[in-house]
Amino acid sequence: MNARTTVRVPAKVNLQLAVGPLRDDGYHDLVNVFHAVSLFDEVTAEPGAGTTVRVEGESIEGVPVDGDNLAARAARMLAARLGVEPDVSLTIRKAIPVAGGMAGGSADAAAALVACARLWGVDPTSPHLYESAAALGSDVPFALLGGTAVGTGRGEVLAPVETVGRFHWVFALADGGLSTPAVYAECDRLREAAGVRQGPPQASPDLMAALASGDAEALGAALHNDLQDAALSLRPSLAATLAAGRESGAIGALVSGSGPTCAFLAESEERAVSLAASLAGAGVARSAVAAHGPVPGATVI
């Protein structure tokens, strides 16, 4: 049993998001190539009475501070599975943009699972953690794992991907978020309007080869997001953000997941820093931050 545990957990960008047809259960089958990047939230768990949450950070509008917070839901779910009281005081320090397509809520849920497991003396490799994660949300298991991984099913069935080297990214953060269900629904609507009959999602061989060889140029060319048109349809201003990044020398540019964060791949760390400055100066984003990947998943610090 531990008195106080802090867990650091990364954001993700989707290197490939291939979206299959709508399933009967309301989800879509995916090929979701997750990549964990060095933008981190921190979740601290301490003994408490019941489950309480405090949220700290600069842009935390819209993050629930009650039992709806995904970190609180994670604590209650793990406690129920373990048959213990969900007595924990959680403090979340947020740096991952809220409703930004970088899975910040999922990250906090994964961090809370790891922190509570340690607080309650549970083996961190216990299957209760993965099973709770998958029940909480499609992106939560990846936040436990980190690195680079292919998610299939609704994104929760993970296979790690070996990669070479470090990739340098810039993330253009937007004002306000986009709702994930609304973006999936818009994707379905656009496909129906265009008469597209969607087949099963397929992994991109070019993307896998680029990751295996560490070839950033090839990775930039292979980045693809099936939700991008839907995110652009709901937030047309993102087209100018993507164009500004390409004009400033990005070797790849796409909307991250359901958006509205835009992700840009740079040739080097130096190029990423100058690209972030260009994007911030161009007035096409609330702010722009440089980061690298892959990084590990939820980790006790």
Ligand X SMILES: C[C@@](CO)(OP(=O)(O)O)[C@H](O)COP(=O)(O)OP(=O)(O)OC[C@H]1O[C@@H](n2ccc(N)nc2=O)[C@H](O)[C@@H]1O
Ligand Y SMILES: Nc1ncnc2c1ncn2[C@@H]1O[C@H](COP(=O)(O)OP(=O)(O)O)[C@@H](O)[C@H]1O
> Residue 26: which residues within 8 A CB-CB, separation 6 or more?
none
Nearest to 98 by CA among 124, 132, 127, 59: 59
Residue 107, annotated as binding a ligand: yes
How far apart are alpha carbons 140 and 103 in whole angstroms?
A: 8
Site string for ligand X, 72-111 (x = CB under 6 A): -----------------------------x-x--x-----
Closer to ligand X at the Cβ: 84 or 203? 203
In whole angstroms, how far apart are CA 155 and each of 34, 72, 260, 291?
9, 22, 19, 23
Residue 100, annotated as binding a ligand: yes
Residue 208, annotated as binding a ligand: no
Nearest to 228 by CA among 199, 252, 249: 252
Residue 228 near ligand X by CB under 6 A: no
Residue 12 known to be catalytic = yes
**Cβ pair 143, 132 in contact under 8 A:** no
Name the E strands within the chain. Answer: 5-22, 28-46, 51-56, 88-93, 148-152, 157-160, 167-173, 224-225, 252-255, 262-266, 287-293, 299-300
Judged by CB under 6 A, the stretch of 58-66, 150-158, 212-220, 281-289 that binds ligand Y is 58-66
Closer to ligand Y at the Cβ: 13 or 290? 13
Catalytic, out of 29, 108, 139, 226:
139
Closer to ligand X at the Cβ: 127 or 181? 181
Burial zone of 265 (CB within 10 Å; 0-12 exposed, 13-18 middle, 19+ buried): buried
**What's the closest the beta carbon of residue 30 comes to ligand X, in angstroms?**
5
**What's the closest the beta carbon of residue 75 comes to ligand Y, in angstroms?**
11
Question: Closest CB to ligand X belongs to which residue?
Answer: 257
DSSP state of 138: T
Residue 138 near ligand X by CB under 6 A: yes
Closer to ligand X at the Cβ: 29 or 118? 29
Size of residue set near ligand Y by CB under 6 A: 20
Q: Which one of 10, 20, 86, 104 is in contact with ligand Y (CB under 6 A)?
A: 104
**Cβ pair 90, 75 in contact under 8 A:** yes
Residue 30 near ligand X by CB under 6 A: yes
> Residue 286: which residues within 8 A CB-CB, separation 6 or more?
173, 174, 175
Nearest to 22 by CA among 238, 164, 181: 181
For residue 236, the one-letter residue type is P
Residue 102, annotated as binding a ligand: yes
How far apart are alpha carbons 259 and 102 in whole angstroms?
A: 8
Instruction: State which of positions 152-211 bind ligand X (CB under 6 A).
Output: 154-155, 180-181, 184
Residue 293 near ligand X by CB under 6 A: no
Closer to ligand X at the Cβ: 52 or 261? 261
Which partner from the list ligand Y, ligand X, none does 226 bind, CB cut-off 5 to 8 Å by kind? Answer: none
Residue 16 near ligand Y by CB under 6 A: no
| Known binding-site positions | 97-107
- In the complex, the residues that contact ligand X under the rule CB under 6 A are 14, 17, 26-28, 30, 32, 101, 103, 106, 137-139, 154-155, 180-181, 184, 257-258
What residues act catalytically? 12, 139
